Every structure is written in C-alpha cells, then in structure tokens.
Amino acid sequence: MSVDWKTLSDLKAVKETLSEYHCTDGPKSCSYAPNSKMQLSSSKTDFKLGDTFSVKIQLFDEYKRRKTKGGDNVRVWMSEKSKEARAAGVVTDNKDGTYTGTLRALWTGSPKIEATIASRKENVDIFYRRYLDNYTLRNISARFESDGVKEETLCLPIPNIRGFTNVCNLTAENYGLPWYCGKPSHRKLLCYDLTGLRADSYQPTLFTSHEAKFFKQRLLHQNIPTAVAITVTAEQETVSLPSVPCNKTPLRKSWKASTPVGFFYKNSWKSLTCKNTIPADSKIYRECLKNRILWIHGDSTSRAWFLTLKERLGLKLVTEEWDNSKWYKQAVTMDKSWNITLMFVPHEYPFYHGFRFDKLAYNRATHAYLDDIPNTSRDIFLIHMYLHFNSFPPEVFRTHMQRIARSVKSLVARAPGVKVAIRGTHAFKGRKRIGFLDDCWMFIYDTIQRHAFKGLENNVLFLNNIDLTVATENDDQHPNSLLVDSLINHFMGSVCEGRE
C-alpha cells in the first residue's frame, strides 16, 4: 500500500516506511497502463437506464507481471462522443493489484468505459522523500534590499530551511499562517528589509536520476487500452433529474452527494443533486448580485472565474489596469447601476507569483478578509485553494483550510445573510515536467477540505469539481471554458433565487 496521510502526524512518520513501497528494480516493475486490463465484472453488456454496473481492472507492470498490491490512483469514467455525454465513476482499491470501477447508466445509447492510472504509489512516495529533505518540490524566494544591497533567500512554511542557520519569521505578516525565509547574510540587511517574493527563475533539480525515471511522460496518466462498450436502453434519453431547485436544496447535500454528482449530456451539465433553475443569462446573474459583493478567493483558476463573470456581467475594473494576463493582485470590478462588486483576491502564502518579485501584502489571507466582514453583510464568498499547495506536504494545505474554516464558522454565525461556497479540487495532468504540478493530491485534499468543514455542512456550499474534470479527462491545470461555465452556472443556481 502507499503512504496513508491519515495516519501521519508529520513527515517523520514516513521516513521508516518508504523503502518498502519503492520499486526496487526501477519503474518497469511499477504499474504500467499499456499492459493492464479492464473488463466488465459480469458477462452482461446490456443495461437499463439507471442501472449500476462495475468493471474489474487488473494492473500489470512493464514486464507483464500481475501486480499483487494496491495503492495506485486509478480512475474510471464513461463517455459517448455522438451524444457529447460523459460521467465519472468510483474506483475501489482491492489492495491486491485489482480495482473495481462502479458506474451508473445515466443515458441511453452505447457508452464506452475507460480507465487510467493517474498516478502510481511510487511517484507519491518519491514526493514524500523529497519533502523529508527539502519540504518543497519548488522554491519560493524572498528579496531583501537596503542601501543598494540586495540578497535573495529561500522561504518555507517551516523554520528549518536548508542552508540557513537563522531565519526571518514572517508568520505575522502572513496573517498567522506559518511562513519563514532565510535571514540575509549581509550585515546591512535585516528581516524587515524584505521587499518582495517570487518563484525562483531557476528551480534546482531535487530528484535523483533514478527517481526522475519514474516521471517519464509515457508512464503517467496513460489510459488502460481495454476500453469496454455497453448498451443502455429505455424510453427516455437520460435518467430522471431532481425536481428540487438548487437554491432550495439543503447545503449539506452538496457535501454528502456521492459520485456521480452529475453528468454531461449534449455538452450540458446535468446535476443529480438538485435542479438548476438559473439559466446562464447575464440579466438574471445581475439580479442575483444586485447590491452585493461577490468575493472570489484563490489562484489562477479562480482568476478564470473572475474574468468569465466580469465579461458576462459587463463589469469594469476600478482597480489598476492589468499589465499582463497572469494577474496576482487584488482586482475589483463594479457595475454602479446595479451596485454589483466583483472581487478577485489571491490567497496567502505559499503562493507562486512567477519570476518577478511581488509584495507580501498582495496576498492578504482569506481568513483575514472573512474576519473583517460586518454582521449585516449579504456578501457571497467563493473560496478555492489547491494548486499552489501541491509543492508542499498535504499538512500545509490542512493548516490553511482549518484556519479558513474557523473564520467561516464565526462569519456564518454572526452574519446570517452571507453565503459561502468552497470550490473543491480538480483532475489535471500537469505540465510534462518531472515532479512538477500533478493532481496526485486531488482526493487527499478533497478529504482534508471535508474534514476541515465538518459541522459546517448546513452553512457552506461545496462545489464538487472532481466529477466534472474526471469525466471530461481534463488535461490542463486550468480547467477549460466548458468546465468553468458549467460550474459557475451550478454555483449561481445554488446561491441565487431560482425561477420555477
């Protein structure tokens, strides 16, 4: 089995267990999708609409030897191109090299079932090895400057920074969330001479040549070749959809719903948890947001939501004009006639700004904004964290989500007019660089979010982004416009008054 984050109090607990999971004779003895197989669990290939069925997946290594242990991240979905239909399935690890994929016949026709090994247990274990040595897979550095003297040092969410005996504790500047940078060695430079932070233009190779072999592109996110075809029959085109409007559906249902929470049909997202009575119409969106502020907290994927809504609502920037598309400062747009304000707010550190230095103040913590909201507020908050944490151990993400949850708990108790939504993680395939961003933490982070907001399910909307992105085989770390538009519309249908 692979390392289970739930059993870990910290990274030290991993140190003695990693060696037994590593493929001793290299990546060829790890699970290899082209040699693996999938078949229906029964001989039946004809199903009725709404039936649940399963497939059995057997993994093999590159030597065509059957795998006998579990721990790999296997995914399954179904699709039918002619109907522009797609849906995600659930995978159960049987711990013996086999996996069971469970799916539901959601539309009539001839859907195809496919599966992939998204990430292998050994790759995740390699990440943990690097965390033990460096605590990060990708550097963030700080610049200190005074009287013409400049110096650049490394930063981490822990004070143990390689190469530095002394560190600058910037936790207070990061709104109480752990953040440390190496103290400059030059006698003229002090910690308060910090002028900016950035992602290093040069990122050192943290992986050994042996470890790098495990990240060759042909070994990652490759589909299992034995796709399965079925036939689904019924008098109607799709399964019956819910009749209760999303804005009247208890928020708890958004946290408790199991896969599939919906499916695509004719390239339109069909929710299985509620009925969306809000069409993707700019006038209706304006009516919903009239006299309100919509806060969009997060990263570049949140920026995509901001830009989409800005264009759809015809809003004008009231903050400074963007000098490039990769904007990482707070941005505000308004429509004065409707009294609508839309805000994009980058989350706190760790955050990668690119190669130019930006001020720490640009990344005011999400919880700090929440704590400042007055009791009479009717603001809407959309909160998302994910990609910028992938270079660090999951415990860093857990710390931030727990802190946000504390502020959300206080906010919804004292300001009953606000609405809060958490946008979950999503599937993607990375940037074809060894050890760079990948979605191997997707389900782990999803579980962390659910644990952090336990007890708040009646007050907070959860937007499941996993099912949409698994079903569509999303490739890029930034989901495409179909996925963004689909989730925005579901979000608006959940926070706005519906039209019967």
Are 322 and 411 found together in one domain? yes
Least Cα distance to 123 among 261, 289, 2, 301 occurs for 2
Please give the Cα distance from 266 to 84 (Å, whole number).
5
Given a contact cutoff of 8 angstroms between Cβ atoms, the answer to whether 59 and 97 are in contact is yes
The residue count for the chain: 500
Please give the Cα distance from 497 to 147 (Å, whole number).
58
Are 85 and 31 found together in one domain? yes
Task: Say which range, 33-42, 116-125, 289-298, has the weakest mean pLDDT.
Answer: 116-125
Indicate whether 270 pLDDT > 50: yes
Tell me, what's the pLDDT at 6?
40
pLDDT range class, residue 2, cuts 50, 70, 90: very low
Are 80 and 51 found together in one domain? yes
Please give the Cα distance from 428 to 444 (Å, whole number).
15
395 located within any domain: yes
Residue type, 312: R
The per-residue DSSP string of 270-300 comes to EESS-B----S-HHHHHHHHTTEEEEEEESH
Tell me, what's the pLDDT at 206?
80
81 located within any domain: yes
Contacts with 294 (C-beta within 8 Å, 6 or more apart), sequence order? 309, 340, 341, 342, 343, 379, 380, 382
Are 176 and 227 found together in one domain? no
Please give the Cα distance from 316 to 314 (Å, whole number).
7
pLDDT range class, residue 7, cuts 50, 70, 90: very low
Percent of the chain with pLDDT over 90: 77
Is residue 45 classed as helix, strand or coil in its secondary structure? coil
Last residue of a domain, one of 210, 233, 256: 233
Please give the Cα distance from 125 to 24 (Å, whole number).
13
Are 28 and 80 found together in one domain? yes
Tell me, what's the pLDDT at 498?
56
Please give the Cα distance from 370 to 181 (Å, whole number).
27
pTM over 0.75: yes
8 located within any domain: no
* Beta-carbon count within 10 A of 283 CB: 10
1 located within any domain: no
Tell me, what's the pLDDT at 1?
29
Indicate the number of domains in the chain.
3
pLDDT range class, residue 10, cuts 50, 70, 90: low
Are 389 and 294 found together in one domain? yes
Are 170 and 48 found together in one domain? no
Looking at residue 45, which CATH number applies to its domain? 2.60.40.10
Indicate whether 124 pLDDT > 90: no
129 located within any domain: no
Tell me, what's the pLDDT at 355?
81
322 located within any domain: yes
Average pLDDT over residues 413-423: 97
Token readout for 26 is 């290299």
Are 100 and 151 found together in one domain? no
Token readout for 211 is 């470890």
pLDDT range class, residue 402, cuts 50, 70, 90: very high
Contacts with 235 (C-beta within 8 Å, 6 or more apart), sequence order? none
Token readout for 277 is 């009575």
Tell me, what's the pLDDT at 26?
82
Please give the Cα distance from 36 to 226 (Å, whole number).
8
The per-residue DSSP string of 40-62 comes to ESSS--EEETT-EEEEEEE-BBT
Q: Which domain holds residue 480?
A: 246-495
Residue with tokens 């042909």: 218
Helix axes 481-495, 300-313, angle to 10 degrees: 70
Indicate whether 145 pLDDT > 50: yes
Least Cα distance to 58 among 118, 2, 117, 98 occurs for 98
Are 334 and 397 found together in one domain? yes
Are 267 and 229 found together in one domain? no
214 located within any domain: no
Across the chain, mean pLDDT equals 91
Looking at residue 484, which CATH number applies to its domain? 3.40.50.1110
Report the relative pairing of strands 380-383 and 292-298 from DSSP bridges. parallel
Are 380 and 421 found together in one domain? yes
382 located within any domain: yes
Token readout for 229 is 């075809």
Q: Taking the mean position of all CA atoms in its chain, how far away is CA 138?
A: 18
Residue 350: asked if its preceding bond is cis (omega within 30°), the reply is: yes
Tell me, what's the pLDDT at 435?
59
Are 459 and 483 found together in one domain? yes
Indicate whether 13 pLDDT > 60: no
pLDDT range class, residue 436, cuts 50, 70, 90: low
